[in-house]
Amino acid sequence: MVPPSRKVGLTVKHSSMLFMIIALISALGQDAATPPTIKGHALGENIKDYIAKVQGGSDQLSRCRSAVSEPKSARKLKVNLAECRALAGAIDSGSRLKMRVADSESQGAAMFVTFEDATLIKMDLDIGELKYCAQCKPTPYEQVVYELTQKFGTPSSKSDFITQNGFGAIFHHRMTTWKTPLAFAHAYEANANVDGPETYVTVETPEEHKREEAQSANHPNALD
């Protein structure tokens, strides 16, 4: 028979270990439930919250609302009426919207964001195209992959796409993919030039990725 004092010791020890395990699982669960941010924004973000975070976004939305109400005022307000109507539709009725992010916000990358049901579902970035940021330094593919790995974990797959020009020169375009319960991310090495590396990055919800795959599969053959 185990003495009462030893029974208590075992109980306290096991309780402490159980508490640590529960705390660890809880912490991991919280991380897994929070999509990583890209340029300050995360998949699942509401379009109103997105606009509120963008510098001058609220003012732009206000001017767009005025232009939609009074179309003739669009020129005076310095807004594009068609774009304003599309933005209003995305906010009010959840219609699909893809828009370009201002260079000042995307910080050296050409960036597009896509919303559906008033929710951010996709982000496309062209990283390394220096015309979008004259003072920025080139960002090599390896650096982009490293940063994405920090956000999404170990890559799900890696591959190398080879192209050849008319002079016979061969070019390697590396590709890396991440798949998580909350996101699908893909990095494509568009240009491996040391002086001007360029990487295309896509981060989207798993649902949007599946939709695109289904759309691609159902696309009619150009020769049929």
Which tokens sit at 130? 């220096």
Q: What's the CA gap between 209 and 200, in Å, rounded?
A: 16
Residue 77 lies in a domain: no
Residue 14 lies in a domain: no
Which tokens sit at 207? 């649902």
**Average pLDDT of span 191-219:** 89
Q: What's the CA gap between 213 and 215, in Å, rounded?
A: 5
Predicted local confidence at residue 191, as pLDDT = 87
Give, in order, the Cα–Cα distances in Å from 114 to each of 50, 58, 74, 98, 186.
Answer: 11, 18, 24, 4, 16
User: Which residue is listed with tokens 């002086």?
Assistant: 195
More confident residue, 7 or 150: 150
Least confident of 20-24, 122-126, 216-220: 20-24
pLDDT at 17 exceeding the cut of 60: no
Predicted local confidence at residue 27, as pLDDT = 38
Torsion of CA 217, 100, 33, 215, to 10 degrees: -10
**Average pLDDT of span 103-123:** 88
Alpha helices, DSSP H, located in the chain: 4-32, 47-53, 57-69, 74-77, 81-93, 103-106, 141-152, 206-217
Residue 44 lies in a domain: no
Q: If you count DSSP H runs as helices and E runs as strands, how many of each does the chain have, helices first?
A: 8, 9
Beta 170-179 vs 157-164: how paired, if at all? antiparallel
**Contact assessment for residue 92 and residue 64, using Cβ atoms and an 8 Å cutoff:** no
**Average pLDDT of span 54-79:** 94
Residue 45 lies in a domain: no
* Confidence class for position 136, pLDDT limits 50, 70, 90: confident
Give me the domain span that covers residue 191: 101-224
* Confidence class for position 7, pLDDT limits 50, 70, 90: very low
- Buried residues in 142-176 as b, exposed as e (16+ CB within 10 A): eebbebbeeebeebeeeeeeeeeeeeeeeeebbbb
* Residue 209, beta-bridge partner list: none
* Confidence class for position 134, pLDDT limits 50, 70, 90: low
Q: What's the CA gap between 127 and 198, in Å, rounded?
A: 6
Predicted local confidence at residue 129, as pLDDT = 63
* Confidence class for position 182, pLDDT limits 50, 70, 90: very high
Q: How many domains does the chain have?
A: 1
Q: In 3D, which of 125, 149, 129 has the Cα closest to residue 139?
A: 129
Q: Which SS3 state, helix, strand or coil, does residue 123 take?
A: strand
Name the residue type at position 223: L
Q: pLDDT tens, 41-50?
A: 999 999 999 9
pTM exceeds 0.75? yes
